[in-house]
Amino acid sequence: MTVLQVPPVATISWINSMSPEHEMLFLHVGAAQNEYDDLHLQSSVWADGYGDFTTTRDGIRALIPDKDMFETTLGGLGIRGAGTDQIIVCLATDKSPWPYRAYWALRYFGIENVCVAEASLRTMLHGGLEDLPTKLPPVKVHCNLLDPDESLIAGKEDLLSSIKNSTAAEQILDCRSIEEYTGLPGDHPAPRQGRIPGAAHLNWESLMDTTGKFHAQSQLLQLYQDAGINQGSVVFPYCGGGIRSAVSWFAMSEILKWDNVRNYDGSWAEWSYLTDLPIEKD
């Protein structure tokens, strides 16, 4: 088999050009299966975003699963893991952060042949994305993951250190809505409202158009610059549970090719839960 370089963003033409010799798995990720039932590829596998790509530990929701748990989950989805020729394309019916959470989680455990569809499935089908005529049955496989890549993740200690040092070399980026940033409740109840002290703000939805396609690199750069985020800094994006912030992590790390972008997995779910951690709000 020809060695294939898998781009982080999978275009319609790239997907359609894949020959049958390449094992490609379409991973349809979302928060509720009714979106999958509404529209999906016959050749895709449904993955529950919260159920498959997060877990609850010590009272804190939406944390990344541990390696053993994740291997079992992914194997049940037909994902073989790290060091294989299998190509995984993450997608969703409409604009969604879940394919980016899935991508980040898979990369965190060493899977390199993974990409995200360039736009929503609805948009790509209208644009000519091809599908198989019949549905493929899910196949349970053995999944082997590598040890976590700690350069992709941040913990509360990293953010506390950034707050204490207060230098331009490290920046915290809130990827939630402006309402959540200023101290109003979000969709998921949290023990406290507000933001992490010193955090800049750039809503993840601003990075894309309504179809879920990222803006051009020049526009992304301008958006981050306007938010006060500098390319040379270590950036800690966060949101409610490390899901929406995975979109901004992807934009900075995979599209703009910035080094030192680390998704804060605990995000506001952890920060608001631990009452000794400082907060700000308007």
Mean pLDDT (whole number) for 43-66:
97
Residue 161 reports pLDDT greater than 50: yes
Number of domains in the chain: 2
Is residue 198 in some structural domain? yes
On whether residue 52 sits in a domain, the answer given is yes
Among the three residues 111, 126, 141, which one is the final residue of a domain in this structure? 126
Q: How confident is the model at residue 1 (pLDDT cuts 50, 70, 90)?
A: very low
- Residue 4 within any structural domain of the chain: no
For the segment 68-103, what is each residue's pLDDT rounded down to a tens digit?
999 999 999 999 999 999 999 999 999 999 999 999
pLDDT tens digits, 107-155: 999 999 999 999 999 999 999 999 977 677 678 999 999 999 999 999 9
Residue 240 included in any domain? yes
Do residue 114 and residue 157 come from a single domain? no
pLDDT for 167: 86
Q: Is residue 23 part of a domain?
A: yes
Residues 100 and 205 occupy one common structural domain:
no
Residue 142 lies in a domain: no
Question: Which residue from 154, 16, 143, 23 is spatially nearest to 85, judged by alpha carbons?
Answer: 23
Task: Annotate 234-258 with DSSP letters as a single string.
Answer: EEEEE-SSSSHHHHHHHIIIIIS--
Residues 51 and 31: their CA atoms lie apart, in Å, by 9
Please report the pLDDT score of residue 137 as a whole number. Answer: 65
Specify the pairing of strand 55-57 against strand 60-63. Answer: antiparallel
* pLDDT band for position 279 (cuts 50, 70, 90): very high
- Return the SS3 of 184: coil
CATH code of the domain in which 176 resides = 3.40.250.10
Q: Give the structural domain span for 228.
A: 150-273
| Angstrom distance (rounded) from CA 101 to CA 264 | 12
DSSP, res 17: T
d(CA 258, CA 53): 25
172-194 pLDDT, tens digit per residue, is 999 999 999 999 999 888 999 99
- Domain limit, last residue, from 60, 91, 126: 126
Write the pLDDT tens digit of every residue in 217-268.
999 999 999 999 999 999 999 999 999 999 999 999 999 999 999 999 999 9
Within this chain, do residues 25 and 78 fall inside the same structural domain, yes or no?
yes
Q: Does 203 reside within a domain?
A: yes
pLDDT at residue 39 is higher than 70: yes
pLDDT computed for residue 207 by the predictor? 99
Based on the fold, state whether residues 267 and 171 are members of the same structural domain: yes
34-53 average pLDDT score: 96
- Judged against a pLDDT cut of 50, whether residue 34 lies above it is answered with yes
DSSP letter at 111 equals: -
* Residues 86, 23: Cα–Cα separation, whole Å: 5
- Same domain as 181, residue 91: no
Q: What is the mean pLDDT of residues 1-25?
A: 87
**Tokens 């992914």, residue located:** 74
Bridge partners, 257 (sequence order): none
Is the pLDDT at 51 greater than 70, yes or no?
yes
Residues 6+ apart with CB under 8 A from 38: 93
Distances (CA, A) of 163 to 123, 156, 228, 239: 41, 11, 16, 17
Give pLDDT, residue 134: 66
Is 112 in the same domain as 194? no
Q: Are residues 67 and 30 in the same domain?
A: yes
Does the pLDDT at position 16 exceed 50? Answer: yes
Mapping DSSP to helix (H, G, I), strand (E, B) and coil, where does residue 201 land?
strand
* Same domain, yes or no: 73 and 157: no
The band of 58, judged by pLDDT with boundaries at 50, 70 and 90, is very high
Are 88 and 169 found together in one domain?
no
